[in-house]
Amino acid sequence: MALVAPVQAKAPVRAPATTKTVLVMGDSLSAGYGIAVSQGWVSLLGQRLKATSPRWSVVNASVSGETTAGGLSRLPAALARAKPGVVVIELGANDGLRGLPVRDMQANLDRMVKLSKASGAKVLVIGMRMPPNLGRAYTEGFANAYTTVAKSNGATLLPFFLEPIMLDRGAFQRDNLHPTAAVQPRLLDHVWRPLAPMLR
């Protein structure tokens, strides 16, 4: 995921006191890499919340190129600013593409979930998958890390973010890594299924 192309992080904007907040901590897949920010699934989530759950708003603290270590380092400040009711963690792809140890990624995700829950938020962990060329041991360990973290912490798990579009080459930009603007609604629908019950 050119997920490794860094951009300057933007401080999460604190939501109005009259709303509850969904805080999204992600990488370029959630930051809207290669498309207009307004077209990304997180922005579309904000529109859906406004229409269906007006007491909720979304804060997108996603950064292109982010790893789980980077997300963990930014999380305490993001939690303090946004005071979220729900935290969505969509990280790990850059760890995998860089071949970073799965145990470190898992430990970072585990710490993020624990910090989020300690702040009083519910947590949705969004998993990713790695290509088979990285080897079976790595790819299976990578996928299992998300399951382990979610199960051990009582968090909600969406096993694979790109599942609805993975087999559709036309759903990706020229880099064959980042989804196009056209399929962002499908990704939102995919996330919405586990997320919606958490907003009740």
The catalytic residue positions are 28, 175, 178
Q: Are 25 and 71 in contact (CB under 8 A)?
A: yes
Query: Which region, left, alpha or beta, applies to residue 32 given φ > 0 means left and ψ of -120 to 50 means alpha?
Result: left
For 105-125, the DSSP string reads: HHHHHHHHHHHHHHTT-EEEE
User: Tokens representing 169?
Assistant: 């080459």
CB crowding 72-109: b at 16 or more within 10 Å, else e: bebbeebbebbbbbbbbbbbbbbbbbeebebeebbbbb
In order of 14, 53, 98, the CA distances from 9 in angstroms are 15, 28, 20
User: Tokens representing 96?
Assistant: 């995998």
Could you give the angle at which helices 102-118 and 136-153 cross, rounded to 10 degrees? Answer: 20
Name the CA dihedral angle for 150, 85, 190, 184, rounded to a multiple of 10 degrees: -130
